[in-house]
Amino acid sequence: NQRNHASHHATRLGTTAAVAVAVPSSPSPSSKNQFEIVGAEPPTVSWSRGEVQPPAFRDKWFAIAFLLHIVTVISAVIAFYPNLLSEISANRTDNNADDDAAEDYSDKDNTSDDDNDDDGWMLGWLLTVFSVSLVGAPVLSMLVLGVMSRNAKKLLEGSLIFSIAINVILMVVELVAGIPGGALMHAIMAALLVWYSKSVWHRIPYAASNLKAAVTVIRLNGGITLVSLGALMVLFVWTIAWTVAFTGTSLEPDLMTTKATEHSCDANGNCVEPGDSQLTTLGGILYCLFFLSFYWTNEVIRNVVRTTVAGTVGTWIFSPSEASSFCSSGVTDSLTRSTTYSLGSICFGSLIVAVVQLIRNLLQSSARNRRNGIVSCIAQCLLAFIEGLVRYFNKWAFVYVGLYGYSYLEAGKSVMELFQARGWSAIISDNLVNRLLSICILVIGLLTGVASTIVSFIFEEAEHSDNGILLPGFLTGFLIGMVMASLVLGVVSSAVDAIIVCFAEAPGEFKENHPAIAQEMQTTWDAAWPTVDFNGVAMVSLDGGIGIV
């Protein structure tokens, strides 16, 4: 089935052609000046369109290394878990020894019924709050997707107006409160947002057409949200396992730390007294490896979801019948490829981000212990910039991995060829879609928080008591609502990326299988850039990254 799908997909996409970049429809003075400003006239280049690869394990050594590291962490959990139990037991013994010895059994008997009643009441409250949040947030998220599919343009416009209004309100509040510095900052932010909104307003219809296409894919293939939920559960379990392994290993005597035997100070004035714990050389290495493990695994889990979404979008565009149900073959096949044949490529790209992230965090930690950290601060800023570039590059590379099954380097080469083929005639940074999604996630979190607060109030009234659970109830509902909403709406951003690439690579096939959506994207493109002739070669990022026109 996978080979047949690859063959069918490759038949549609496996072509190589000379592709003309987007050029002005007529050599008008305005369009000529546009190209003079950014550089040279965009050339006509040969560009090989993507081709679905036959099933094979790519970048397999990175997948093997990743799986071996997972086994190592699990082994550390098994080996050093007793250390953690001993530490917890010792702390409990120290804290409760006196109280346990003085406790009277008759007092226990008198208060046991009240304690049981309180425990039952609290458990009922927690279960109700969790149920309301876990059910309410996904329902609200699906309603939001429905509203997006019908009112994407208005919502994108509203998100910009909302951002401006929030800054204006904060500016006024801070002026009244006598905080001129904060008021000035929000005034500047509001002015910048007004300028930004004016400059991107004409792009909103095109952004809306991409957003509607992405929402259509997600609603037809709801199983993608289950993949996202599964990734969250895996990440949760992994975080617990990693914490146990790291803590248990750090408690192993003379492995990561040793006890200082004399007073000493380093060049930065940090002193160690006899008996203090200090990090060993092996401990420093293990510390770095543990945190590299955490960052790497986190990136791999996130990127598995991204490539799965990209593969599902590609199936929907080129083989609609295979991606038109909740748990369609498009979803399951894409997830299978992401966790098998493409796992090595995902691990490769994720490792690069993890290494940069580790180095940046080590520099941050080092800067806290230095009196003069200017050089370290500059290095941190540089690494943060590099990390952003790598993440941006990976975002598009993993779209190619998910669509075609390329190795990581092949996907990266395709990304660069795609960008170069577009001529780099203009670089824009639109965060229209991400801004809207963030606002929607925040609103859903607030609504579930309010619902949980109402539940808490009802419980307090029923018990005729004030247990101070209103704020905890709101925070619990808010956090659960935010997490659940991000699971559903977060995949929309990845879907937008994949749609942009597919429409750029194969506009003909897109129009053949989805004529209404393709026509809307074509029309809104022409309205946004009337002097540029669209030939299926335009890259416009609508979710916070850099795109090419």
Residue 472 tokens read as 């905890």
Domain that holds residue 12: 2-95+124-256+284-527
Q: Which tens digit of pLDDT belongs to each residue from 197-232? A: 998 898 889 889 989 999 999 999 989 989 998 998
* Average pLDDT estimate for 293-308: 94
For the chain, the domain total comes to: 1
Task: Give the pLDDT score at 364.
Answer: 77
> If 0-12 CB within 10 Å is exposed, 13-18 middle and 19+ buried, where does residue 304 land?
buried
Find out whether 52 and 405 touch, Cβ atoms under 8 Å: yes
Residue 424 lies in a domain: yes
Residue 261 lies in a domain: no
Sign of CA dihedral 145, 151, 157, 158: negative
Sign of CA pseudo-dihedral 468, 470, 473, 474: negative
Model confidence pLDDT, tens digit, residues 417-462: 776 665 333 333 346 888 899 999 999 999 999 999 999 888 888 7
Instruction: Answer whether residue 104 is part of any domain.
Output: no
Residues 6 or more apart whose Cβ sits within 8 Å of residue 537: 19, 20, 21, 22, 421, 422, 504
Which pLDDT tens digit goes with each residue over 255-276? 766 665 555 565 555 665 555 5
Q: How much is the pLDDT for 421?
A: 64
User: What ranges make up the beta strands (E) of 225-285?
Assistant: 257-259, 264-265, 271-272, 277-279
* Residue 30 maps to a domain: yes
Average pLDDT over residues 526-546: 52
For residue 39, give the H/E element and its range: none
| Average pLDDT rounded to a whole number, residues 339-365 | 90
Looking at residue 506, its pLDDT comes to: 80
Q: Confirm whether 118 is domain-assigned.
A: no
pLDDT in tens, 487-512: 888 899 889 888 888 887 788 888 89
Asked, for residue 269, whether it belongs to a domain, the answer is no
Reduce the secondary structure of 428-460 to three states and give it as a string: EECCHHHHHHHHHHHHHHHHHHHHHHHHHHHHH
CB of 412 closer than 8 Å to CB of 401: no
Q: Is residue 509 part of a domain?
A: yes
| pLDDT above 70: residue 483 | yes
Question: Could you tell me if residue 64 is inside a domain?
Answer: yes
pTM: 0.78
**Which of the two residues, 536 and 296, has the higher pLDDT score?**
296
